[in-house]
Amino acid sequence: MFGPKFYPLLNKLGPWRQSLFALALAHRQFSNYALYTEVNHLNGKSEFKNALKTLWQFHTQKFNHINLETELEKFEPFSYTQEEDTSLGYLYAIDASISLISAFDAILSKLGDEAQMASKASMGAVVRTVEQGSDSELDDETLRQSLLVDTEVNFQVGLYELIAKAPRSNELCQKVIQYIYKDNVSNIGIEIENLQQEQKEFIAILNIKG
pLDDT per position as a tens digit, 22-64:
999 999 999 999 999 999 999 999 999 999 999 999 998 877 8
pTM of the predicted protein model: 0.93
pLDDT of residue 28: 96
Give me the amino acid identity at 90: Y
Cβ within 8 Å of residue 22, ≥6 positions away: 99, 100, 102, 103, 106, 114, 115, 117, 118
Categorize the per-residue pLDDT at 196 as very low, low, confident or very high, splitting at 50, 70 and 90. Answer: low
pLDDT of residue 209: 41
Q: Tell me the C-alpha distance between 180 and 183, whole Å.
A: 8
On the 0-12 / 13-18 / 19+ scale of CB atoms within 10 A, 97 is: buried
**Does 208 have pLDDT greater than 60?**
no
**Does 74 have pLDDT greater than 90?**
yes
Residue ranges and CATH numbers for the domains of the chain are 6-205 (1.20.1590.10)
Collapsing DSSP to helix, strand or coil, 64 comes out as: coil
DSSP 191: B
If you average pLDDT over residues 159-183, what whole number do you get? Answer: 94
pLDDT per position as a tens digit, 108-129:
999 999 999 999 999 999 999 9
**Does 95 have pLDDT greater than 90?**
yes
3-state helix, strand, coil in the chain (%, to 5): 70, 0, 30
**Cβ-count burial 56-76 (b if 16+ within 10 Å, e if not):** bbbbbeeeeeeebeebbeebe
Residues 85 and 76: beta-carbon distance below 8 Å? no
**Does 210 have pLDDT greater than 70?**
no
